[in-house]
Structure 1
Amino acid sequence: MAKSTVESYFRKVESKWNAQEVKGKDPLARLVYRSNLLGSDAYINNTGGGNTSSKVMEEDPITGEEVEVLWVKGSGGDLRTATKPNFASLYQQRLLDLQEVYANFENTGLKTPAEDKMTEMYPHCTFNLNPRAPSIDTPLHSFIPYKFVDHTHPVPIIAIATADNGEELMKEIYGDRLAWVDWMRPGFELGLKLEETIEENPGIEGIILGGHGLINWSNDDKECYELSLELINQAADYLSEHELGEESYGGQYYESLPKEERRGVLSEILPHIRGQISKENKFIGTIQDDDLTMQFINSKDAPELAELGTSCPDHFIRTKIKPLYIGWDPQDEDIDQLKDKISSGLKQYREDYIEYYENCSPEDPFDMRDPNPTVILIPGLGMITWGKNKSESRVTAEFYTAAIGVMRGAESVGNYTAISKQEAYDIEYWALEIAKLKRMPPEDELSRQVIAVVGAGSGIGKDLSSRLIEEGGTVAALDLDQEAAQETADEILDEIGMGIGVAGSDISGSGDIIGLGCDITDRESVQEALKQVVIAYGGVDNVAVTAGLYPTPDKDGTVSDAAWDKSFAVNVKGNHIVADEVANIWEAQDLQGSMVITTSANAVVPKAGSMAYDTSKSAANHLIRELAIRLAPKVRVNGVAPATVVEGSSMFPRDRVIASLTKYRLDFDEDDSTEVLRDKLADFYAGRTLTERPIELSQQSEAIYSLLSSRFENTTGHIIPVDGGLTDAFLR
């Protein structure tokens, strides 16, 4: 058994400011640069969290006069990836004038409506018709009387901010450099409190926001950035001197299973979990089992600390009121006991969430959000996070990782505290947060769907993988040629700007598509590939098999017995093996699914010289009907029957193209490129159809995508021809 220990966690951060990179940049470009630096390290700032600002003199587009403009990160932006359009611009004086407006709203005694009313006033302060909606933290930046302001959520600072003795620790660490403001929800009132605190403490360089984070300032942007790092490092130094090492979180109570063993257990339980939390909306999962995470989950105090939930608003929005902690002993309990505990734990979590919602909601509440957890902690195994796509589940893992670091620090120097359930509710169901969710674009057709594409290394499978990603799908690209599968994944990820599909050996860190090797004639290979898909994403919803084999005849036109066997092994039995193994995942999930098998027009059109291929595809057609019966009612099974697709097909290497051109007595030049020869052959095949157009990859992909989607939700057991109109293949 493996014991996870982390002796030291808190580290210093180094300045990445490069004078040459900012030379000649305008003020907004410098703000973007500073923001990107602060957002590049999750230890400093979470994805989508924190904000930065600059007060700049600009020419009023109407009067031509110089006016002070606040440029601040807009609502929904992310510091790491922010560009100029992600920043809102507002007249600074108009923002200051809103203080009198707020005083009138505040006199009603209703804080939340007053805050909401002020947010409605921000558009009236917009400079130069900038369409970017301002952040709710805009007043924090406006009311601080300095040109440059950084608001971040550094792990070491939040550790101090959430400790029950945080204010005392702040004074011990920083002396009079910083002031303290008790927890307040972000918004106008907090901005006024910061202004008041600065007036009462002249000369301070920043403020620690209780339970929340850090805000600091300067009249020079580089100095502001480097001050942020300096303050973070002071807290990190203090915590590194006091952290408890192996005794963090009360010491270790459980031991981790060896990595391969725990991945085996996870691959079995993930579909079980995913099915139970996806009854309202499907979720994509991420596993995290690094040493820091395991040390927390395996600790004596983890159940109690997890129950407290998080404190920082950014953490809470992602991780919900609290994670679900499963009290399973990996040394003394088996997988069936674990599954039982997961089921009962999820049931209790949902009941707790409903109680929290009902107790904290006002008379006219918003509709209750999904009551399932987004973070699940299991001793010996790791943390499982869930989101509507892979990116969101990874960000949720990032947030709770920060929360683990926060608890580690706070518990080393005091006692960790979290915000009250009412405060948590008021943030989760804040009208501004609900409005932000409503502004998000509608989800794509295949959002939340995990699709395994078998044969994705080339041809139809490669084109299909790209098509599914376009529609919001999460794709596992499988192929006999693992390098080709990985190439498909890498090319697609490069196109959508998400880097490489598999980072090192840790497949759980994958993006929206991964590349895996898989021999569908080998059951163990299929099992291993599907295991990796489940580890990467939590389950499987849909499967498209585009892999196929055309046995090449000998010189005399015959096909050997071995080639016959191979043809049926790939084109028939391989599809059966894939369906048989995915069926186990589908059964565990108990969710709707779909499978599409690529057969061929040859399945119903007898031809000289391709008997082995044609009869295997005919058998595949009937396999589709058998599988449709077996997997009903949850899973639909259909087929797509293309006529010969030459474009990009691995079944049409140069030698076969030349052999076919020779067979059909078509003139060609052997010096021509393979693509030219393929086009000539494709045109010949097109001439035999009613439409007289070549069969293209995209047409096959569109048919498969449509069958996988809800467009054919009541179609199963059928084969859709995409053959240009072959009269010999007409239904009869």
Structure 2
Amino acid sequence: MSERSFQFVQDLWDDAQADLLSPVDRLVYRSNLLGADGRITNTGGGNTSSKIMERDPVTGDAVETLWVKGSGGDLRTSTRENFASLYESKVLALKQVYEAIEPRGPETDAEDQMAAMYAHCAFNLNPRAASIDTPLHAFVPKKFIDHMHPNAVIAVAASRNADQLTREIYGDDILHTPWRRPGLELGLKLREIHRERPDAKGVLLGQHGLINWADDDKECYHLTLDIIEKAAWYIEARDRGERTFGGAKYESLDAERRAAVFAQILPWLRGQVSQNKRLVAAVQDDDQILRFISSHDAPRLSALGASCPDHFLRTKIKPLYVAWDPQTQDAAALKASLAAGLAQYRRDYSAYYQACKRPDSPAMRDPNPTVILIPGLGMIAWGKDKSEARVTAEFYNCAVEVMRGAEAIDEYVALPAQEAFDIEYWLMEEAKLRRMPPEKELARQVIAVVGAGSGIGREVAYRLASEGAHIVAIDRDAQAARATSEAIVAQVGMGVGVAGSGISGCGPAIGLGADITDRASIRAALDTAILAYGGVDSVVVTAGIVAAPDASGHIPDEMWARTFAVNVTGSYLVADEMRRIWDAQDLSGGSLVLMTSVNGVVAKRGSFAYDASKAAANHLVRELAMELAPRIRVNGVAPATVVQGSAMFPRDRVIASLIKYGVGYSEEEADETLRDRLAQFYADRTLLKEPITAADQAEAVFLLLSRRLAKTTGQILSIDGGLHEAFLR
């Protein structure tokens, strides 16, 4: 490892590893190192490049190629496939094409026309779309270039006297240029700066970030770290702690009270900001964010909005700041302040759009805030999924750090509204949004699966997660629930972004323990789900037990009561606790699915406690459908006996069933062999002769939760392979 020492960034360069890599793989390596540190650049932000000699696939001639991080990639996770490769000479030739366009300039579509030309410069048919920052790398005649968004450097670039500060911190090594929208014009400006000052090592881009260069990739990497380190030292030497933000104006609630208030307001708030499309929340309430939100200067600074374009593309031009005193006002007062604040925010955003829009601007997007700041409580960030919400929170943390740094050394200055609008509604950004893949069928949904620790519940959780749902896996066995959620995260990934300190860091699933027969336990689990995602849309209850008779064939009273408590009352308690969330959110499209059984309509000896409880559960479905309409649909899935993967069939019960039905077996046979034999016995009693599996039930649950059966409620869907005894009659 390198022996260089830094305090505010981390030097991760390893010669032994880098020297084994090809030129392109060294670019990937350098990029991953830079992207791994949030103090260097934010998720999805920044780009790197290398100019590499390659063989032209047609002529065989040696040609100079520009390899640069492509559009939409993330440096931390990028692979070779995330980099565009272009003929350097063809990109440089775009200057003549650009100069032929009239009129040129920031208020024309000339930059958009040029961006469409990058595809004609692709080397070796590389399909990766080139970034709008490509000219910044192409027009500076250096082999290696880093363009980062470090908080400390942006703080300097977003200060009122940025030019003077740049000279004071860096001397002649690093220059400053005022704000200019990324694109070919900025690339040409950088070329001009380099020609005039060839000894300069980089440029601070006003309001935006840092670009620096070298003819050695390791040198370029360490130069990036040096520039950030110097800015950070300069800021820290002048930071005044709490006084940098004017000192504390509000006293924060303790952690327990914050959680209680969040649980009380979040479902309602989620409903308010999800009027166009459902959003998912990420909550942050650590000391660092509360220091800003609860300060005297937070209203003034938050109203100025973000500086770096990467920030406000996620956070919008500004957050919603709610003036609420946590020590003298209650949650009802907070809700009233939020309602008034949301209404005003929408009016302000509409006015901002109308004042700044251009003839070809895309239609106005969702006017609701993506960041909400509440003194003494914390920050709520919103996104289409948990990953996007975490990234939004991450970006606003970056914006706060930029404001802290700028206020410590000078005075923070945000981008003018028109410049911010031209980035937010840039046609290039609109094209990037349109290139994104379509959302999955259960995207934006938060679904609780009660009984997710094993069997049908676990399979349901997996199936719904594969369709884009956020899963709250709940089980009496908390460890089993966590195992299910961890398997989902391993299956679908955490998404982009790194959850910082204090940000609700769960990904697409969480695992929680709860006893379905205990209302307080259910409420606690659902409150945790609210803190994780902002609310809950649908619930599936698969938890259940079978009451086995004793040796005399009698079912003890306590076992009868326990069977009904789990199989019937538990489902009612879950529905009743969910009702307060559904009512608060006031969003249509939610569902409740109860796992009943075909035994609910088939009378037989030996399991009448279970069968009677499932008959009651079937009717509970109908009663709840009446109670929760029209907002919530309620249906049941009635499986025949599912043996494979079910926690209800340990080895001793399997053997007892085989004996009961006269099916031959051997004590030496493995558990799975015995289960398969019993499953086939049950299958042979059906019309289709196929064993019923947990996956079959999960598919039925998915259909009922999706919009495919959107007009179905109060129904029991039997998944039994054709058990004629259970036919409707």
TM-score exceeds 0.5 = yes
Tell which deviates more after alignment, 186-195 or 359-368: 359-368
Name the CA distance, whole Å, in 1 between partners of 2:503 and 2:610: 36
Paired position in structure 1 for 2:31: 35
Is the Cα contact below 8 Å between 2:683 and 2:721 reproduced in 1? yes
Q: How far apart in 1 are the matches of 2:353 and 2:258? A: 35
- 2 CA distance for matches of 1:211 and 1:109? 19
Mapping for residues 169-184 of structure 1, pairs under 5 Å: 169-184=165-180
476, 484, 491: which is aligned to 2:487? 491
* Counterpart among 688, 691, 694 of residue 694 in structure 1: 691
**Structure 2: which 5+ residue stretches go unaligned?**
1-5
Aligned to 2:3: none
1:612 equivalent in structure 2: 609
The whole-number CA distance in structure 2 between the counterparts of 1:196 and 1:28 is 28
Q: Report the Cα offset of residue 383 of structure 1.
A: 0.5
2:622 equivalent to 1:622: no
Mapped to 1, the partners of 2:144 and 2:568 lie a distance apart of 66
Q: Is the 8 A contact 1:493 1:499 kept in 2?
A: no
Q: For each residue in 1:159-188, what CA deviation from the matched residue of structure 2 results, as whole angstroms up to 9, or x when unmatched? A: 111011111111111111100010011111
Residues 325 and 378, structure 1, Cα contact 8 Å, conserved in 2: yes
Alignment partner, residue 587 of structure 2? 591
Q: How does 1:86-165 map to 2 (within 5 A)?
A: 86-108=82-104, 111-165=107-161
Structure 1: gaps (5+ residues): 1-9
What secondary structure sits across from 2:645 in the alignment? coil
Deviation, structure 1 residue 110: 6.6
The offset of 1:101, in angstroms, is 1.1
SS at match of 2:108: helix
Which residue type is aligned with residue 595 of structure 1?
A: L
Change in Cα spacing, 1:452 to 1:196, as seen in structure 2 (3 Å) is same
Q: Which amino acid aligns with 2:85?
A: S
Using the TM superposition, give the Cα deviation of residue 246 of structure 1 relative to its aligned residue in structure 2, in angstroms: 2.0
Contact 2:361 2:426 in 1 (8 A): no
Shift of 1:506: 7.1
**Match of residue 278, structure 1, among 256, 274, 277:** 274
TM-score computed with the length of structure 2 as normaliser:
0.97
1:731 aligns with 2:728: yes
Distance 2:430 2:146 in 1: 26
Correspondence for 2:328 among 320, 332, 340: 332
Asked if 1:676 corresponds to 2:696, the answer is: no
- 347, 351, 355: which one pairs with 1:355? 351
Structure 1 distance, partners of 2:333, 2:493, is 42
Contact residue 162 and residue 416 of structure 1 kept, 8 A: yes
Q: Deviations over 1:617-671 (max 9, x none)?
A: 1000111111101111100000000000011111111111111111111111112
Structure-2 separation of matches of 1:172 and 1:259 = 43
Provide the secondary structure at the position in 2 that maps to 1:112.
coil
Q: Contact between 1:507 and 1:532, CA under 8 Å: does it hold in 2?
A: no
Q: Distance in 1 between matches of 2:418 and 2:511?
A: 45
Q: For 1:553-599, what per-residue CA distance to the aligned partner results, in whole angstroms no more than 9, with x for missing partners?
A: 21222211000000000000000000000100000000021110000
1:376 matched to 2:372: yes
Counterpart amino acid of residue 445 in structure 2: Q
The counterpart of 2:362, out of the listed 359, 363, 366, is 366
Q: Does 2:304 align with 1:314?
A: no
Q: What residue is the counterpart of 1:717 in the other structure?
A: 714
Deviation of 1:517 after TM superposition, in Å, equals: 0.3
Q: CA deviation at 1:487?
A: 0.5
Within 1, Cα distance between the matches of 2:275 and 2:532? 20
Instruction: Decide whether aligned partners of structure 1 residues 35 and 190 sit closer, same or farther in structure 2, where only a CA change above 3 A counts.
Output: same
For 1:654, the aligned partner's letter is: R
- Which residue number in structure 1 is paired with residue 191 of structure 2? 195
Q: 1:653 aligns with which of 647, 650, 655?
A: 650
How far apart are the structure 2 equivalents of 1:226 and 1:109? 35
Question: How far apart are residue 289 of structure 1 and its match?
Answer: 1.1
Q: Aligned match of 1:536 in 518, 532, 536?
A: 532
For residues 457 and 176 of structure 1, the distance between their equivalents in structure 2, rounded to whole angstroms, comes to: 62
Is the partner of 2:634 in helix, strand or coil? Answer: strand
Offset at 1:243?
Answer: 0.6
- Residue 504 of structure 1: CA displacement? 12
Shift of residue 107 of structure 1? Answer: 4.3
**2:682 is the counterpart of 1:685:** yes
User: How far is the alpha carbon of 1:202 from its aligned partner?
Assistant: 2.2
Could you tell me how far 1:363 is from its partner in structure 2?
2.8
Q: How does 1:410-429 map to 2 (within 5 A)?
A: 410-429=406-425
CA distance in 1: counterparts of 2:323 and 2:284, whole angstroms: 18
Shift of 1:498: 3.0
Match of 1:294 among 290, 295, 312: 290
1:451-600 correspondence to structure 2 within 5 Å: 451-498=447-494, 508-592=504-588, 593-600=590-597
Answer yes or no: is 1:267 the counterpart of 2:229. no
The residue type paired with residue 205 of structure 1 is: K
Deviation at 1:503, TM superposition (A): 9.1
Matching residue's letter, 1:686: A
Whole-Å separation in 2 of the counterparts to 1:674 and 1:632: 45
CA RMSD, aligned part only? Answer: 1.5
> What code does the residue aligned with 1:689 have?
T
> What letter is aligned with 2:605?
A
Residue 104 (structure 1) shift: 1.4
- 1:63-82, aligned counterparts within 5 Å? 63-82=59-78
Amino acid aligned to 2:37:
D
How much identity, in percent, do the aligned residues show?
59
In structure 2, the CA distance between the partners of 1:34 and 1:432, relative to structure 1 (3 Å rule), is same
Moved over 4 A (4+): 106-111, 502-507
Work out the CA distance in 1 between the residues paired with 2:561 and 2:14: 64
Q: What letter matches 1:127 in structure 2?
A: F
Residue 89 of structure 2 aligns with an amino acid whose one-letter code is Q
Match of 1:662 in 2: 659
Q: 1:300 to 1:538 in 2, by over 3 A?
A: same
Q: Secondary structure at the match of 1:720?
A: strand
Structure 2 distance, partners of 1:154, 1:276, is: 34
CA distance in 2, matches of 1:78, 1:639: 43
Pick aligned residue for 2:637 from 637, 640, 653: 640
Paired position in structure 2 for 1:602: 599
* Structure 1 contact 638–707 (Cα < 8 Å) conserved: yes
Give the direction of change, closer, same or farther, for the CA distance of 1:688–1:507 in structure 2 (3 Å limit): farther
CA–CA distance in 2 between the matches of 1:222 and 1:289? 38
Structure 1 position 248, deviation (Å): 2.1
Q: Which is worse superposed, 681-690 or 556-565?
A: 556-565
SS at match of 2:117: helix
The CA deviation string for residues 97-153 of structure 1, in whole angstroms up to 9 with x for no partner, is 111111111545674311011011111111000000000000000011100000000
Question: For residues 106 and 222 of structure 1, what CA distance do their matches in structure 2 show?
Answer: 41
Specify which of 420, 430, 434 is matched with residue 434 of structure 1: 430
1:4 corresponding residue in structure 2: none
> Are the equivalent residues in 1 in contact too, given 2:488–2:508 (CA < 8 A)?
no
- Contact 1:11/1:236 (CA < 8 Å) preserved in 2? no
Residue 499 and residue 66 in structure 1: after superposition, are their counterparts in 2 closer, same or farther (change >3 A)?
closer
Distance 2:397 2:670 in 1: 53
Tell whether the 8 Å contact from 2:284 to 2:380 is kept in structure 1 after alignment: yes
